[in-house]
Amino acid sequence: MTDKKQRILDSALKLFAQEGYSAVSTNRIAQDASVSEGLIFKHFDNKEGLLLALKEKAELRIHEIYAYLSEKKNPIHVIESFIDIPFTIDPSEYDFWRLQFMLKWDNRYYMPDKMDNIKNLLTESFHELNYEFPREEAEALDHMIESISIGILRDGMDRHKKQRNFLKKKYKISIASI
Amino acid sequence: MTDKKQRILDSALKLFAQEGYSAVSTNRIAQDASVSEGLIFKHFDNKEGLLLALKEKAELRIHEIYAYLSEKKNPIHVIESFIDIPFTIDPSEYDFWRLQFMLKWDNRYYMPDKMDNIKNLLTESFHELNYEFPREEAEALDHMIESISIGILRDGMDRHKKQRNFLKKKYKISIASI
DNA sequence: CATAAAAGTGAGTACTCACTTACTAAGTTA
DNA sequence: TAACTTAGTAAGTGAGTACTCACTTTTATG
């Protein structure tokens, strides 16, 4: 990965995440990255290639998260770590995740849930803890975390911090006060 | 509202919801509505005017929902009706709501939550029911309903039906089995 | 060092974009 | 019925679009 190729990806990610894929021209990406427009096509064939390159990274990251969760032995720890996910994203990665969430609305690039593995892990965990409806419990928690993630990506982490401890309390994970 | 003006709005809504605002040209809208392109600008000034017309409707609908919830006297009924919301949307309105959710990612058109009134109503309800953290409880439920709504808009209602009764059970609303 | 491949440029290309203009047809009202 | 407004059209407009191509510069390797 050359320096300029990386800069193209950085600029594309930033602009796509801020304004949407269709609203950003290859010209603007080139300018933002201080690179000739032609270079984009040398490296990524076409505009869509740029987007696909960004999506590949996302799949890797999701798999990393899954791997991290699945090595936990205690089901309580799986649930706790899952709740922690949106609160441990580094703000420098917000653009990256924002783009992934935006793409979920685009049928062309929406992949029917890569997160399913993680949901299964949660279901198992709730099952081990003898919850009555582990599948539904997992979906409910997943929904909350998805929605909290969206909130954080849209207006920062501060407004959502309270939810973290509240949820942990709800799932009887021992920690400090709310 | 003339027939052609309505057809322009219908086509714009459909195409914006399916492919995103920026990805749809006024030319395509005109063709889809079987209308001259110029007429769009006669009626709505510019492309953005089209979007704003669609957004106005959304604000009205959200207020209707709020009014409907706020006339419930029993807090249990407020919560139950809130859970019901995504399951009672008519599929013919999916495009309409899909567009609203998509626009939440667009800083230019995102209005810091028109849903706040509804969240306050939920908080009051949980308070009346003596929940320990009514505010957080309301946010959690709101998050779940938002995320379920997104799921329904993306891949239909069937996959999410179980969640409805599960949630009602969780909030001790008397109904049949899950 | 010679050479070939890869990285990078910038001026083009055909086409699409949102929007305008000049116009006609169909009401509506005085 | 004459004057005026509104609905509607078709053919533009210049700016911007994704992408190409002929070319130069840099980098790696035998």
Instruction: Check: CB of residue A131 under 8 Å from CB of residue B158.
Output: no
Q: Which two tokens stand for residue A83?
A: 């709740």
Q: Which of residues 5-64 of B touch strand C (CB under 7 A)?
A: 24-28, 37-38, 41, 46-48
Q: For residue A36, which nucleotide's C1' is closest to its Cα?
A: C9
From the CA of A120, how many Å to the C1' of D27?
Answer: 49
d(CA A57, CA A70): 20
**CATH 1.10.10.60 for domain A1-45:** yes
Using a CB-CB cut-off of 8 Å, the residues of chain A touching B140 are 144, 163, 166-167, 170
* b (16+ CB within 10 A) / e for A168-178: bbebeeeeeee
Size of interface A-B (CB pairs under 8 A): 84
d(CA A113, CA A100): 12
pLDDT level of residue A135 (50, 70, 90 thresholds): very high
Average pLDDT over residues B141-162: 95
pLDDT digits (tens, 9 = 90+) for A12-58: 999 999 999 999 999 999 999 999 999 999 999 999 999 999 999 99
**In this prediction, what percent of chain B has a pLDDT beyond 70?**
97
From the CA of B160, how many Å to the C1' of D27?
Answer: 56
Q: For residue B24, which nucleotide's C1' is closest to its Cα?
A: C17
Instruction: Check: CB of residue A122 under 8 Å from CB of residue A135.
Output: no
CB contact under 8 A, A107 and B140: no
Using a CB-CB cut-off of 8 Å, the residues of chain B touching A106 are 19-20
| DSSP conformation letters of A87-151 | HHS-GGGHHHHHHHHHHTT-TTT--TTTTHHHHHHHHHHHHHTT-S-HHHHHHHHHHHHHHHHHH
Higher per-residue confidence, A26 vs A114: A26
Q: How far is CA B47 from CA B8, B38, B50, in A?
A: 11, 11, 5
From the CA of B37, how many Å to the C1' of D9?
Answer: 9
Task: Tell the residue number behind the tokens 């899954």, with chain if given.
Answer: A66
Is B113's pLDDT higher than 80? no
Residue B178 has a pLDDT of 37
CB contact under 8 A, B22 and A18: no
d(CA A156, CA A164): 14
Q: In this structure, how many other beta carbons lie within 10 angstroms of the beta carbon of residue A126?
A: 22
From the CA of A34, how many Å to the C1' of C2?
Answer: 33
Average pLDDT over residues B93-97: 97
Average pLDDT over residues B71-94: 96
**In this prediction, what percent of chain A has a pLDDT beyond 70?**
97
Average pLDDT over residues B83-107: 95
Residue B174 has a pLDDT of 65
From the CA of A18, how many Å to the C1' of D28?
Answer: 38
Using a CB-CB cut-off of 8 Å, the residues of chain B touching A137 are 166
CB-closest option in B107, B137, B163 to A139:
B163
- Search chain A and give the residue with CA nearest B101: A105
Residue B172 has a pLDDT of 86
Instruction: Check: CB of residue B82 under 8 Å from CB of residue B120.
Output: no
**Best B144, B177, B178 residue to mutate vs chain A (most A CBs within 10 Å):** B144
Average pLDDT over residues B141-166: 95
Binning chain A into helix, strand and coil, the percentages to the nearest 5 are: 75, 0, 25
Is B26's pLDDT higher than 80? yes
pLDDT level of residue A175 (50, 70, 90 thresholds): low
Q: Where are the domains of chain B?
A: 1-45, 55-170
AA identity, residue A56? E
Q: For residue B36, which nucleotide's C1' is closest to its Cα?
A: D9
Average pLDDT over residues B74-101: 96
| Mean pLDDT of chain A, nearest integer | 93
Residue B109 has a pLDDT of 80
Provide the positions of strand C that have an atom within 7 A of a protein CB.
Answer: 7-12, 16-22
CB contact under 8 A, B147 and A146: yes
Strand C close to A35 by CB, under 7 A: yes
| Mean pLDDT of chain B, nearest integer | 93
Average pLDDT over residues B21-45: 98
Residue B175 has a pLDDT of 57
Residues with Cβ within 8 Å of B73's Cβ and at least 6 positions away in sequence, in order, are: none
CB contact under 8 A, A105 and B101: yes
User: B132: burial class by Cβ within 10 Å (0-12, 13-18, 19+)?
Assistant: exposed
Helices A94-103 and A3-19 pack at an angle, to 10 degrees, of 60
Helices assigned H by DSSP within chain B: 3-19, 26-33, 37-44, 47-70, 75-88, 94-103, 116-128, 134-155, 161-170
Residue B111 has a pLDDT of 75
CB-closest option in B102, B143, B166 to A144:
B143
Is B176's pLDDT higher than 50? no
**In this prediction, what percent of chain A has a pLDDT beyond 90?**
88
Residue B55 has a pLDDT of 94
